[in-house]
A and B are shown apart, each in its own frame.
Chain A
Amino acid sequence: MNVHRVAATASKEWREIVRDRLFLALTFLVPTSLMLVVGYGLSLDVEDIPLAIVDRDGTNLSREYAHRFIDSRYFDFKGYALDRHALPLLLADNKVRAAIIIPENFQKELMAGRPIVVQTLIDGTLPSRAQTTKGYVLAMNTAFTSEMLAMFISKKRGIPLGQAARSLRPVKFEARYLYNQSMRSDWALAPRLIMVILMMTPPFYTALGIVREKERGSIYNIYSSTVSRFEFLVGKLIPYVGISSANAVILWLIATQLFGAPFKGSLLFFIPATLLYIICTTGLGLVVSVMVRTQVAAMVVTFIVTVIPSMLYSGVIVPISSLSETAQVTAHALPAMYYTNIIVGAFMKGVGLRELWPDVLVLAIYATVLLTLGYRMFHKRPST
């Protein structure tokens, strides 16, 4: 390998990138805007659910029950509805997503120690949101019921309210969320987005960069010269790895500074691991580019091989363990999952090479295989 030839190729490529203002702008704008748009847009938290209540009882107790929901940050109270017939319209218009109907004689029946049914209507068009809503309603209803019960027992037995409440719950539930105490989904999402974006963008740049030369015909300068295949590919890839590395830094800053995601790990581990991942995805672009002839084909193929694995099989949306068995096999065969482990470990758990070395090793194998494959398939004397 001759360093001068590599340098000549790399510097030519770099100048072309810098002079092509649109391409240059896109290489930096696309990752940043993806991060911002998806980061702000794709919040999986369910809060401020628009809610209506029909209070057919109109007593102290029914109002107290209603206020449990009205005062909660999970619900956005839109107002009392006069009767249940108004509700389907409100739900159909998306004005409310949930409605609670407190029946007549709510207070009377409860005071008499008889159970009563409170009906809840939930918009079921989005199952995950409906499930979460149901969970909130159920939790608040349980709390209200047990308080009622405690009050009843303390009155009957003449014991203090606190003691009565405790006796009702012999096993008390306590949960502490590790790594993300407040369960903020943007903290969880931002680092994973870095993974997605660094999966998608480097192959695009690389594939376009190489296929552009093929499409125009300038690749014949390389074919007909003494530059070796290896020198050409190394020189060609360096600028793109550089740009993607710069993007990684920008994305890291957005995640930690703008979204406030905690970074608990060591940069000394995270930086080389990220670089390895970038080389790996750049290698993916190389393999795509040796197989196709036109830039349009390069874009389509790159989109298919990067976006789907990075979104579906990486654990961003659905945890790997919840995937079907075949999907789990697919996930293990793709690099996205391993870097997700690394990035989640480094950001939220503060772990390093000692814990994550298997993932790093898999990425290294990936990078080697992809680059070797690309090199093997690239010929200076093709048949067409």
Chain B
Amino acid sequence: MDEAAMVNASQGLGVTTVESQEFTNATLESADSKPVAQVSKFRKTYGRTVAVDGIDLEIQRGEIYGLIGPDGAGKSSLMKAVAGVLTYDSGTLDVFGVRVDSEQSSEAIKDRIGLMPQGLGLNLYADLSIEENVDFFGQIRLIPKGVLQERKDRLLGMTRLDKFRDRPMKNLSGGMKQKLGLVCCLVHHPQLVILDEPTTGVDPVSRRDFWSILAQLLREEQITALVSTAYMDEATRFHHAALLFDGKVLARGEPDEIAALVPGRIVQAKAEPQAKAFALVKETFPQSEAVGPWLRVFVDDADDEQATTAVTSSMEEFRPQEIHVAEPDLEDVFIALLRRRGLTDDDHSASLVGNADSVSDGDGLAIEANNLVRAFGSFKAVDGVSFEVKPGEIFGLLGANGAGKTTVIKMLTGLLPPTAGTGRVAGADMRRAGQAIKERIGYMSQAFSLYQDLTVVENIRLYAGIYGLSRRMTRDRTDWIIDMAGLAGRGSDLSGSLPMGLRQRLAIGCALVHSPQVLFLDEPTSGVDPIGRRRLWDIIFDLSRNSGVAVMVTTHYMSESEHCDHIAMMYAGRVFADASPSELKTSLREESGQLLEVTTDKPLAALDVLQSGGFDGVSLFGKRIHLLAPDPSKAEQQVRAALGKKDVGVLSVSEQPLTMEDVFVNRVLALEKADEGKQ
């Protein structure tokens, strides 16, 4: 049976709508049964490219409706059309009961909508201050002066931007720009806000902050929201969501329902040697990946016991030392859905043998940073950073925007001389041998590393030429890269015409053309779909394990940081933690406690109670609330007692494993608090 149809059926039968009904009532006194927006058989093309291909959606009053999907899935086109700022080819679109099908009719809805287009702060005016930006948005909506002042004060206070009223927008951090964007599109009190990827390019702390502000605002202002995201793990923030892929809806419904579409289990197993065990597991289970020391395997249609047995037997003689079973998350489901429908791109598995000449001499460290300092005037962007990366290790550098990650990478790649401190990269001193470093490392950034107007082969040859490879070497490496990236038969395609995932694989190939010993990847997976991301991590894993390449990577996807052997977390120019992901999680658990997930019948009321009840790390995820508790059973009693007093019905309280995002957010928030204390 078709999965999407299944969800529709379950919605139709009203199986799980009790909670959402409850939620809607809590949000809005005058609950209106008519949907805010209704989209049917919607289709949009740009020339010959089909962006959206027959989508049906219904957005109910008071909910946060999520569009989840990778770049190019059709999210933006759909959202712009709903906002009445883009034409479409066919289908129908009704917003507030108005048929939006012409420039004239679309004007009729614009007093009730707020749109925040894609791109961090791009719709704001760089040279205007926070206050002037808000004023402009208020004035063009003809809000009376007094009312505007009042709303502005309230919104800026809520987003904690009021201290920076006079600061020009261009001098704001990513998180602040995003909050200002939200304020600007809410200032006229719209009934529907349309937020296109509001959290892309923003660090996890600001992201979590943004979601809690959005939830609070929507509740207080009684607004409906249509929000898109490329981060699968944000799906829990939505009441309803649609998974989009290639202009079509893969699945839709409540996040739980979507997750339940593909029955199965995730098995995590540790086995030595990992690379060999992984190769065996992959033969039986196509949807498996190596994450740090773990192998993570999706087992279809199995219960805990069946899944464990199946994975163990697939490993043959490499018996797992440790094995866990978990529920699949949405990203697993997304991939499983695509796999089951045969939508995963070619199953050409990357074979990576042949990069052997890059296996380093084995002596010493690949990257070594000792007390690196970089000052810009009196401001220290990097302040005494030290870490070590061994050959064959995957090292992650995490930090909020402006924490100093980019400056560290620039110093290590020889682009920027350090103010103080020493460092060696691939055996070369970074103070003196900047050129030698550039010859020994590979570097790939998300922003600009391929020439889109050159073909695949031309791009590879260009990089080979830059690194001065001989003609024979160039030919060998070209074959190797095409094979590695799964680009067979596409050698003469323009690289700009490749899908994002393939393009990134080509880019990583170009960075590897001269067989470097150290590889720098700056947000390599930004905007890449989940399948493309996994393929990329497969390549990274293989490079590190089989070719001994040291890989240094930055990412905003916290779930990806689990792939790293060890992680340095940065805050305000310093490294405050350097350990493996599991060590980081263990130490957070020891310090702050276990993660408790509370589900109630009135999530928003419950959030208020728990936030004022002295619990740590309280955060709303859709209808669930997360909090940290040193003593879970005692905390559960306290939670039930506190909620009982306020007449909130507790549906469940359960312990959940901590994620890297929990680690990062809680650590950084603690540091921020300490900073504020000092001031």
Contact = CB atoms under 8 A, between A and B. Distances in A.
B387 interface: no
B521 to A, nearest CB: 28
A216 B170 CA distance: 13
A4 B117 contact: no
A382 B110 contact: no
Contacts of A12: 125, 128, 132, 136
A224 B111 CA distance: 9
**Which 3 pairs across A and B sit closest by C-beta, in order of nearness?**
A8-B139, A19-B127, A224-B115
Contacts of B84: 223-224, 380-381
Contact of A382 (B86, B139, B184): B86
Interface in A210-236: 216-218, 220-227
Nearest to B138: A8
Interface in B138-154: 139-142
A381 B125 contact: no
B46 interface: yes
A5 B137 CA distance: 10
B125 A226 contact: no
A16 B110 contact: no
Interface in B185-235: 194
A9 interface: yes
Contacts of A67: none
Interface residues of B, number: 35
A224 B125 contact: no
Contact of B142 (A4, A19, A218, A380): A4
Nearest to B105: A381
Interface residues of A, number: 28
A182 interface: no
Contacts, number: 92
A15 interface: yes
Nearest to B113: A224
Among B83, B122, B127, chain A packs the most CB atoms within 10 A around the CB of: B127
A258 to B, nearest CB: 33
Contacts of A95: none
Contacts of A379: 103
Contacts of B139: 4-5, 7-8
A2 interface: yes
B87 interface: yes
Nearest to A5: B140
Contact of B117 (A20, A217, A226): A217
Interface string B108-135: 0011011101110011110110001000
Secondary structure type dominating chain B contacts: loop
Contacts of B142: 2, 4-5, 226
13 contacts: A4-B139, A15-B128, A19-B128, A216-B122, A217-B123, A223-B83, A223-B115, A224-B84, A225-B137, A226-B107, A226-B111, A380-B103, A383-B86
Nearest to A220: B117
A381 B86 contact: yes
Interface string A1-25: 0101101110010011001100000
Nearest to A218: B123
A19 B128 CA distance: 8
A218 B46 contact: no
A364 B171 CA distance: 44
A384 interface: yes
Given A218-B124, A221-B137, A226-B140, A19 B103 contact: no
Nearest to A231: B140
Given A5-B140, A7-B139, A226-B142, 11 more contacts: A2-B142, A5-B142, A19-B128, A216-B119, A221-B184, A224-B85, A224-B110, A224-B194, A225-B110, A381-B87, A384-B46
B106 interface: yes
B168 interface: yes
Contacts of A380: 84-85, 103, 106-107
A12 B184 CA distance: 14
Contacts of A220: 80, 83, 85, 115, 117, 123
B22 to A, nearest CB: 32
A218 B125 contact: yes
B135 to A, nearest CB: 8
Interface in A355-384: 379-384
Contacts of B110: 224-226
A9 B139 CA distance: 9
Nearest to A221: B123
A12 B139 CA distance: 10
B313 to A, nearest CB: 54
A381 B111 contact: no
Interface in B410-466: none
Interface in B55-105: 80, 83-87, 102-103
